[in-house]
Structure 1
Amino acid sequence: METIKGISHFINNKFQTAVTIGTFDGVHLGHGKILERLINSAKTAGLKSTVLTFFPHPRMVLQKDTNIKLLNTLDEKIQTMDSLGLDYLIIHPFTKDFSRLSATEFVRDILVNKLKTKKIIIGYDHRFGRNRNANIQDLTAFGNTLDFEVEEIPAQEIDDVSVSSTKIRNALLAGDILTANSYLNYAYMLTGIIKKGKGLGKQFGFPTANLHIPEPYKLIPKNGVYVVKSNIDQREYFGMMNIGFNPTVSGTEKSIEINFFDFEGSLYDKKVQVGILHRIRDENKFDSVEELREQLKKDKKTSLNLIAK
């Protein structure tokens, strides 16, 4: 898959494309059905399968919604889509100027002239153009004039996508990682940079890596203790992760701390991604550091048992 940031960087004089358009947050099982249809349809017709998506999320720009939480960072979305067999992923910057393009300008200048679209696979409820005033019937009319086919994704599939996204978000916020992962079809991931912490975990015999996630829009699951896995220097490691405030040691800031089993070495300033496998328990305030240490020993044992299964 080739990833292109900005439609203007898509240089194409040799082939035509089959395109679908959307945010595809989470790239979950429902999205997978749509993308599989796109890929198969493109192969059958001798076209290049192409996803057109936007960043930032339109709500961040048009509604200034700074509280929006997404399942994927941009890099995570690229990583997940890259495993599906697409030809092109085009990520176009969403701006107020872009949102003001008329339906005609969007279809003629971008879909037809720039992307060389011969087929568009799109949801029945898709709206586009300035003030989102054009719909799939308008798109079909454009297709008849500008020589491209429109294939409508049935209402049931689109509704499944919406329901799945909502269920994943709700599951993560409730700490139900197994349900979230079942809808995603992969382990929910957190990606960030390891920053130096207070070193308290090391004093307890459980040294932790403090994961700093720079993207404020990334959805963080419910506070608690989780089993995680990560690939570090081309080797898989398991561990346990705490999301929360470390109340036993009077923590005041929310943190994400990971104790990797059997890892030796420094991770400071390294980019690390963890996949979340299980949730063990809530974050609790213990009466003493010794009580916390004993609980961590139990957590590790529980983690290793879950990993072994």
Structure 2
Amino acid sequence: MITFLDISNFTTQEKTFVTIGTFDGVHFGHQKIIEKLVAEAKKANKKSVLLTFFPHPRMVLQKDVSLELINTIDEREKLLKKTGLDYLIIHPFSKEFSRKTALEFVREVLVNQLNISKLIIGYDHHFGKNREGNIEQLTEYSHLYNFTVEEIPAQDIDDVSVSSTKIRRALASGNLKTANNYLGYNFMLTGVVINGKHLGGKIGFPTANIDVKETYKLIPKTGVYVVKSIIKNKIVFGMMNIGNRPTVNGNHQTIEVHFFDFNQDLYNQKLTVELLYFLRDEEKFDTLDSLILQLKKDEKTTRNYIKNNL
């Protein structure tokens, strides 16, 4: 897969099969659309193109500071790289770009820039200025500019429609099993390991403090999780706490991972942590001894989970 960071950087003489969307989460439903795109493009001997946008349109048009995304843009790119796409275009979304009418978008972007042969889109897709474009207009314009359009019905898991919104809600409530089922992979947090207060090491549970710099990244419900990371091509398991560390009077949220059977310096390294299972809510303990006792129970529970489920 080749990535382009602006539509204007992409040129091709070959006809393309295209899909469009923000694809936040690259979840189970998104994957079905992309699988169809890739398979049909290969069958027709055409190139597959996914056009996405960053920042998210709502960040630009609504200044919605409460919007939290399942993936950072780097995570999204890594997930899409696994799908077999030929080209990924991450176009900078702006107010100016949003003013393109549906017809202008089709003519200037899909036809002139992407050299489209077929458009494959998800159910109820809207585009163009004020989201005026819909499947009916796309079909009309496709006849005008000689390309075809295929709309994919809503994807379902157990009769529940998969959506990024439902995944966000599941993560916010600690329902990690549902979120990961909808995603089709383990939800992840990516950040740089920074210096903490070293309190974990003093009580026998040294931690890597993860700094997620992207303020728009969704951080799940506070609590303790079973996690894994790949460090130097090796899978390392552990348990992670998201919270304010109330027992030691913490005053801001931290993300701390205690890795099992691991003793390496991780400072300043970029780390991706996959969340496997929600263990318990964060608690405030009366004494450090009570906290240590609970952490030992957490470790035993976590190791048993890893042994029996992974």
Q: TM-score, normalised by structure 1?
A: 0.96
Residue 263 of structure 1 corresponds to 262
Q: Distance between the aligned counterparts of 1:213 and 1:292, measured in 2?
A: 26
Percent identical pairs in the alignment equals: 58
Q: Distance between the aligned counterparts of 1:152 and 1:176, measured in 2?
A: 31
Q: Distance between the aligned counterparts of 2:98 and 2:230, measured in 1?
A: 39
For residues 54-100 of structure 1, what are the alpha-carbon distances to aligned partners after superposition, in whole Å with 9 as ceiling and x for unaligned? Answer: 00000000001111011111011111111111111111000000001
Q: Which runs of 5+ in 1 are unaligned?
A: none
Q: Distance between the aligned counterparts of 2:44 and 2:69, measured in 1?
A: 34
Q: How many residues were matched structurally?
A: 307
Q: Distance between the aligned counterparts of 2:129 and 2:224, measured in 1?
A: 46
For residues 199-234 of structure 1, what are the alpha-carbon distances to aligned partners after superposition, in whole Å with 9 as ceiling and x for unaligned? Answer: 100000100111010111111111101010001111
Residue 302 of structure 1 corresponds to 301
Residue 31 of structure 1 corresponds to 30
Distance 1:155 1:221, change over 3 A: closer
Shift of 1:135: 1.8
Is 1:10 aligned with 2:10? Answer: yes
Q: Which runs of 5+ in 2 are unaligned?
A: none
Q: Distance between the aligned counterparts of 1:183 and 1:211, measured in 2?
A: 25
Residue 184 of structure 1 corresponds to 183
* Partner-residue secondary structure (3-state), 1:59: helix
Residue 249 of structure 2 corresponds to 250
Residue 293 of structure 1 corresponds to 292
Distance 1:80 1:155, change over 3 A: closer
Q: Distance between the aligned counterparts of 2:181 and 2:154, measured in 1?
A: 22
* Partner-residue secondary structure (3-state), 1:51: strand
| One-letter amino acid matched to 1:204 | I
* Partner-residue secondary structure (3-state), 1:230: strand
Q: Distance between the aligned counterparts of 1:100 and 1:280, measured in 2?
A: 47
Shift of 1:107: 1.1
Q: Distance between the aligned counterparts of 1:289 and 1:239, measured in 2?
A: 21
Contact conserved, 1:30 with 1:161, CA < 8 A, in 2? no
| One-letter amino acid matched to 2:7 | I
| One-letter amino acid matched to 2:235 | E
Aligned Cα root-mean-square deviation (Å): 1.6
Stretch moving more, 175-184 or 193-202:
175-184
| One-letter amino acid matched to 1:196 | N
| One-letter amino acid matched to 1:61 | V
Residue 118 of structure 1 corresponds to 117
Q: Distance between the aligned counterparts of 2:208 and 2:98, measured in 1?
A: 41
Is 1:237 aligned with 2:236? Answer: yes
Q: Distance between the aligned counterparts of 2:78 and 2:203, measured in 1?
A: 36
For residues 226-256 of structure 1, what are the alpha-carbon distances to aligned partners after superposition, in whole Å with 9 as ceiling and x for unaligned? Answer: 0100011111100100000000001010000
For residues 248-299 of structure 1, what are the alpha-carbon distances to aligned partners after superposition, in whole Å with 9 as ceiling and x for unaligned? Answer: 0010100000001122121111100000011111111111111111111111
| One-letter amino acid matched to 1:251 | G
Contact conserved, 1:224 with 1:283, CA < 8 A, in 2? yes
Q: Distance between the aligned counterparts of 1:206 and 1:164, measured in 2?
A: 37
Q: Distance between the aligned counterparts of 2:3 and 2:153, measured in 1?
A: 28
Contact conserved, 1:31 with 1:161, CA < 8 A, in 2? no
Shift of 1:178: 1.2
Q: TM-score, normalised by structure 2?
A: 0.95
Residue 79 of structure 1 corresponds to 78
